[in-house]
Amino acid sequence: MDSTTLHDHYGFSHKQRQIHRNFIKNCKPATAHFNILHRVTVGLSALHQQLLIQQNKVMSPHVAPVTGRNFVQPFQILARRYRVLYKIGEGSFCQAVCAEDLYYLERRLVAIKIMAPKFNAIGMQECKTLRYLNKHDNNDNTNIVKLINTFMVGKHFCLVVDYYQGGTPKLPRIVNEQYRLQVLRKLTCQLLTALMYIRHMGILHADLKLDNIICTTANTLELRVVDFGNAMSLDEIRDYFETFEVQTLAYRAPEVLMGLPFGFEIDMWSFGCIVCELWLGHPIFYSSSKQGMIREIVQLLGPFPNSIYANGKFFAKYNVRSDLISMNLNGNDKNMADVLRTKRLSKVLKTNDSNFISFINHIFEYDPSKRPTPFECLLHPFLASLFPFALYA
């Protein structure tokens, strides 16, 4: 191509020049199709804006609960790596979103827990706990959520964990009792595996509830224990001996309700509540108040033993009626109380399976020192079909 070719438009006639000027005047500059950088940046930006507008028509913006501001939006990129897809849920401490991890070629979904700024310390504590637990889980078989990453977005501390699509576990309803019990056994063993590991590592979860038990996929019984935001070590337990504000109320152990020093045993009480809820489809104890919870527990399991709970910080406050406490029982009186308790459990659980009733009765032991450990639960005859050695324990 020579200079003549490049400048041949100067040879236009007057009419041709007029047409050319009018054409240029009335046309917008064309996008250069050969400019890859321009097309990638401007083109994707325009596409992003278009998709965002369309998405906002059908999805309300995600609102940070503390500030009340729009914070994360669908398709927003966080930490230059995670594309937000949709909101999973939110609470007073944080909101959780499902996002796509763009670091991988194949599609990989993660869950991002975005802390409200004034609760960042809770997120950082959860990060510390998960790193500690994950670090020593060499075989990845403890049924505990995996921490992937952490980062800051503005003033918000964020935790990235594995995303599980199965939701909270549910037992099949239209099947015979023995099949449902066998499914329950499999779920129970996984929870006990997680609790045994957590206890071995010196950690209390302190907020075990069905909402914090998630199936990895929709068509599996494989479980993960999530949300370690309230977890604590043995050294940190004393920090709660003033208020005793620990555990969700429906899963709260009686020693916490009464204001007694507590330990690993409170997780086992919550575990018992979860197993019953899986079986029944609703919480076995439920009330909107602490005193109401105490009455719910006493109605099913009988009065609290005076010898254990009389020294509780809140004992005098809640025990306004004598039927909530019992003196030390001996001989025939104790045997009769145990028989009545077993009958009430059988009626509430709607089953006559003696091993299942015995299993739950054992877990709901009022005396924390006699409440079984996760390992002792695995040895119970109720789980013998999965662990035959339980028969010889």
Average pLDDT, the chain: 83
Q: DSSP letter string over 150-206?
A: EEEETTEEEEEEE---SBS----SSS-HHHHHHHHHHHHHHHHHHHHHHHHTTEE--
Task: Say if residue 144 is in the same domain as residue 248.
Answer: no
144 falls within a domain: yes
Average pLDDT over residues 258-278: 97
Which of the residues 8, 162, 207, 235 is marked catalytic?
Answer: 207
Are both 294 and 322 inside the same structural domain?
yes
275: CB partners within 8 A, 6+ apart: 184, 188, 191, 359, 360, 363
- Looking at this protein, which amino acid is placed at residue 171? L
Enclosing domain of residue 226: 177-392
Mean pLDDT calculated for residue range 253-257 = 97
Q: Are residues 147 and 232 in the same domain?
A: no
Give the residue ranges of DSSP H helices in the chain: 3-6, 14-26, 36-58, 120-135, 177-200, 254-258, 265-280, 290-301, 306-309, 315-318, 331-349, 354-363, 374-378
Q: Can you tell me whether residue 147 is helix, strand or coil?
A: strand
Of 107, 133, 162, which residue is a domain's last? 162
**pTM of the predicted structure, to 2 decimals:** 0.80
Q: Which CATH number covers residue 65? A: 3.30.200.20
Domain assignment present for residue 24? The answer is no
Cβ–Cβ under 8 Å, residues 277 and 210: yes
Per-residue pLDDT, 260: 96
In this structure, is residue 47 part of a structural domain?
no
Helices 265-280 and 354-363 cross at an angle (nearest 10°) of 140
Render pLDDT for 194-250 as a digit per residue (tens, 0 to 9).
999 999 999 999 999 999 999 999 888 999 999 999 999 999 999 999 999 999 999
Inside any domain, residue 94: yes
Residue 9 lies in a domain: no
Q: Is residue 48 part of a domain?
A: no
pLDDT confidence band for 10 (50 / 70 / 90): very low
Residue 51 lies in a domain: no
Residues 73, 212 share a domain: no
The pLDDT of residue 1 is above 50: no
Claim to verify: residue 340 and residue 286 sit in the same structural domain: yes
* Least-confidence region, from 145-149, 178-182, 306-310, 368-372: 306-310
Residue 140 has a pLDDT of: 81
Any catalytic annotation for residue 140? no
Say whether both 220 and 155 belong to one domain: no
Better-predicted residue by pLDDT, 386 or 181? 181
pLDDT for the residue numbered 2? 45
What is the rounded distance in angstroms from the CA atom of residue 373 to the CA atom of residue 28?
75
Do residue 266 and residue 132 come from a single domain?
no
Residues 311 and 370 in one domain: yes
Instruction: Indicate the number of domains in the chain.
Output: 2
Residue 235 belongs to some domain of the structure: yes
Q: What percent of the chain is predicted at pLDDT more than 70?
A: 76
What distance in Å separates the CA atoms of residue 127 and residue 158, rounded to the nearest whole number?
9
Higher pLDDT, 134 or 321: 134
pLDDT computed for residue 100 by the predictor: 97
Residues 260 and 382 in one domain: yes
Q: What is the CATH number of the domain that holds 336?
A: 1.10.510.10
Residue 328, pLDDT score: 57
pLDDT digits (tens, 9 = 90+) for 72-113: 788 899 999 999 999 998 888 899 999 999 999 999 999 999
Pairing of strands 109-115, 325-326: unpaired
Q: Are residues 251 and 340 in the same domain?
A: yes
Rounded CA separation 343/213 (Å): 29
Q: Based on the fold, state whether residues 158 and 193 are members of the same structural domain.
A: no
Tell me the residue type at 205.
Answer: H
CA angle 341/347/351 to nearest 5° reads 110
CB atoms within 10 A of CB 168: 15
Residues 181 and 158 in one domain: no
Rounded average pLDDT over 359-376: 97
